[in-house]
Structure 1
Amino acid sequence: MIPIDDLSSTVIEEAIAIHREFGPGLFESVYESVLSGRLRKRGLKVDRQVQVKAVFDGELYDPAFKIDMLIDDRLVLEIKAVELLSKAHAKQLLTYLRLLKQPVGLLLNFSEATMKDGIRRVVNDYKPD
């Protein structure tokens, strides 16, 4: 199993390469599609638009929400193409991590001038591998 920090680094490398090639201005779905292809090419398991169930007060909600990408069954990615990330975006990802019991997620905003400025790492009781 690849350590989560190495997995995150691989995703970030590919996101930067995609942003350098395409730049900002495309729909989120384009970046998601290309990123998933690049990560699969690197041998990673990639699931897109993962529907997630939730239980509240004894009732099952299926699906309750969906996440953009799940890498190797443990790294949650939320892809954005917005002018500015808000605190709500990070809170949304943290809630997803809590409900999925996952340690780390990446919020990737492809609309920034440089991809480096569009990366936010969110942790949920993270313990290094």
Structure 2
Amino acid sequence: MKLLVDMSLSPTWCDVLKSEGWNSLHWIDVGSSSAPDREIMEFPRIEGYVVFTHDLDFGSMLAATQAKGPSVVQVRTQDVRPASTAPILMPVLRQHEAELERGALLIIDPGRCRLRLLPLTGS
């Protein structure tokens, strides 16, 4: 699985994800820090990346467009530093890797996670 770390998260996430065996890259390495969300979503859709973000807009975009991709992993914790969040994130990513490869929105809150397959519909 390839993960694109969004601007809302530190580039240090790339090293953490790579150490766990995933290909990762930070948006700043491929695009402008002021790029609109739709541009950020286009790159992973074309290149086969899963967006890893703290930004709630990506899930809203998937719902509004009923897109089939890219997959989005949305972490909803106050402390998004790898040292605090990685122990929660890594097992959840492994558990849902197949769904993320096919197209999904994975929302990780403290104490729980929710997975919705794409495209998102009213149900």
TM range (shorter): 0.3 to 0.5
Larger radius of gyration, structure 1 or 2?
A: 1
Using structure 1 for the length normalisation, give the TM-score.
Answer: 0.38
Normalising to structure 2: TM-score of the pair?
Answer: 0.39
